[in-house]
Amino acid sequence: MSLPATPLTERLGCRYPIVQTAMGWVSDAGLVAATTRAGGFGFLAGATIAPESLEAEILKVIELTGSRRFGLNFHMFQANAADCVALAIRHRLAAVSYGRGPDASTVARLKEAGVLCIPTVGALKHAIKAEAMGADMITIQGSEGGGHTGSVPSTILLPQVLDSVKVPVIAAGGFSTGRGLAAALAAGAAGIAMGTRFLMTRDSPTPAATLERYLAVEDPAHIKVSLAVDGMRHRMIDNAFIRRLEEAGPLRRLLIALGSARRWQRETGMTHRQALGILRRALREDPAALAQTVMAANQPVLLQHSMVEGRAEAGILPSGQVAAAIDRLVSVEELIATIVNDAERCLARLFPARQETAEGSTTTEVN
């Protein structure tokens, strides 16, 4: 039995209903191109690509694949958010993804240009709002997912959202296998989205030392949610840096934040005098709140430590709980092929009357 056509494959133009999410310092042109060639749909992580290099990364994917069937992820609080929108439109990309998304007028501008808008949400109310704002599809991420994540598991959030919105829904958070894809399709999702599983492939640019740290995790309990980075729910692999943040008091946390922001300070042009001004203001106001603000702005640098420099204990390690179930690295091509084959076998057992025969084949569209 072949996988059924879904709104995801039909509208995004990919062969399989499998999405590679945008992960900071990980989802580069190489990973997106590998995903595209293997039949999935990939998103470039626009938030951690230098503004002056972003267009070159887009063109690199086009050159490597001969296709524009990929997407760009960005945040509206980025200084170059308007450029991200313009580049997605100029290069006629298939889609954009975002969390706290653009306003209705920006969404309308993207849609008018034929660029699909696919926000990621972690709560039912945000899915309803995203649809009202004009989303073409919605990715729901359950609490099992890595990085910033909500508190509702995928098995609860997915049916809630499917019952409440009319646009196609993509399931994320806890998916890494063909069984997971089959389950999501059977539930009514248009496909699945995965981050951690793509990070843990041979096509990922993540340093070997950091990948070894991911592979070493065997207990899902060691991939925990912490509020220590910026006050928001953040699922990541437990490490020395996170433990130091969690054990620190408000002022100590601020000092850690400022200390780890040296590179961020250089990149933003903040002077030592300005940094001292922040510290003095913190002493007068709320050290805890200011520490969270500095840490939030400094997250790309914290990711850089682990995802670029290979210093797994010095930065943050965003991860879905599925990392504990992954014990080897494969290519993206092998990963997608295995997921598709396993999902087809699962669906054939579930719907034996729908199996392809020599006389013809029957497929069922999943809405």
Residue 364 lies in a domain: no
- What is the average pLDDT score of the chain? 89
Examine the domain organization and report whether 225 and 180 are in the same domain: no
Examine the domain organization and report whether 149 and 275 are in the same domain: no
Examine the domain organization and report whether 144 and 35 are in the same domain: yes
Minimum mean pLDDT among 174-188, 232-246, 280-294, 321-335: which range? 280-294
Indicate the pTM of the whole model. 0.89
Examine the domain organization and report whether 96 and 179 are in the same domain: yes
> Above 70 in pLDDT, residue 318?
yes
Type of residue found at 143? S
pLDDT grade for 364, boundaries at 50, 70 and 90: very low
Looking at per-residue confidence, does 87 or 2 come out higher?
87
Model confidence pLDDT, tens digit, residues 4-61: 999 999 999 999 999 999 999 999 999 999 999 999 999 999 989 999 999 999 999 9
Minimum mean pLDDT among 75-79, 231-235, 268-272, 355-359: which range? 355-359
Owning domain of residue 81:
7-203+331-354
DSSP designation for 171: E
Residue 360 lies in a domain: no
Which pair of structure tokens corresponds to residue 234? 């953040």
Type of residue found at 303? L
SS3 316: coil
Question: Residue 155's CB: how many other CB atoms inside 10 A?
Answer: 14
**H or E element that contains 156:** helix 154-162
pLDDT at site 335: 98
pLDDT at site 268: 44
SS3 223: strand
Examine the domain organization and report whether 302 and 341 are in the same domain: no
Task: Tell me the mean pLDDT in the region 313-336.
Answer: 97
pLDDT at site 299: 79
Asked if residue 143 lies in contact with residue 121, where contact means CB atoms within 8 angstroms, the answer is: no
Q: Which residue has the tokens 């230098």?
A: 50
Model confidence pLDDT, tens digit, residues 101-128: 789 999 999 999 999 999 999 999 999 9
Examine the domain organization and report whether 312 and 341 are in the same domain: no
Asked if residue 190 lies in contact with residue 168, where contact means CB atoms within 8 angstroms, the answer is: yes
Task: Tell me the mean pLDDT in the region 272-298.
Answer: 62
Minimum mean pLDDT among 85-89, 284-288, 291-295, 336-340: which range? 284-288
**Cα 182 from Cα 19, distance rounded (Å):** 14
Residue 367 lies in a domain: no
Minimum mean pLDDT among 151-155, 209-213, 249-253, 323-327: which range? 249-253
pLDDT at site 123: 96
pLDDT at site 251: 75
Number of domains in the chain: 2
Examine the domain organization and report whether 262 and 116 are in the same domain: no
Examine the domain organization and report whether 194 and 312 are in the same domain: no
Examine the domain organization and report whether 128 and 19 are in the same domain: yes
Model confidence pLDDT, tens digit, residues 234-273: 999 999 999 998 998 877 877 777 666 555 555 444 556 6
Beta strand 116-121 with 191-194 is unpaired
Minimum mean pLDDT among 178-192, 231-245, 266-280: which range? 266-280
Task: Tell me the mean pLDDT in the region 175-188.
Answer: 98
Helix axis angle, 299-307 relative to 208-216, nearest 10°? 90
pLDDT at site 360: 53
Residue 213 lies in a domain: no
- In sequence order, what DSSP letters do the residues of 232-278 get, joined into one string? S-EEEE--HHHHHHHHS-HHHHHHHHHHHTHHHHHHHT--HHHHHHH
Which distant-in-sequence residues (6+ apart) come within 8 Å of 266 by Cβ?
none
Strand ranges in 83-205 using DSSP code E only, listed in sequence order: 95-98, 116-121, 138-141, 147-148, 169-172, 191-194
Which of 356-360's residues contact partners 24+ apart within 8 Å by CB, and which partners?
A: 356/1, 356/2
pLDDT at site 198: 98
Residue 145's domain is classified under what CATH number? 3.20.20.70
pLDDT grade for 287, boundaries at 50, 70 and 90: low
Model confidence pLDDT, tens digit, residues 133-151: 999 999 999 999 999 999 9
pLDDT grade for 302, boundaries at 50, 70 and 90: confident
- 66-75 b/e (C-beta count within 10 Å ≥ 16 → b): eeebbbbbbe
Task: Tell me the mean pLDDT in the region 191-217.
Answer: 98
- Residue 325 CB burial class (10 angstroms; 0-12, 13-18, ≥19): middle
Examine the domain organization and report whether 104 and 41 are in the same domain: yes
Examine the domain organization and report whether 19 and 118 are in the same domain: yes
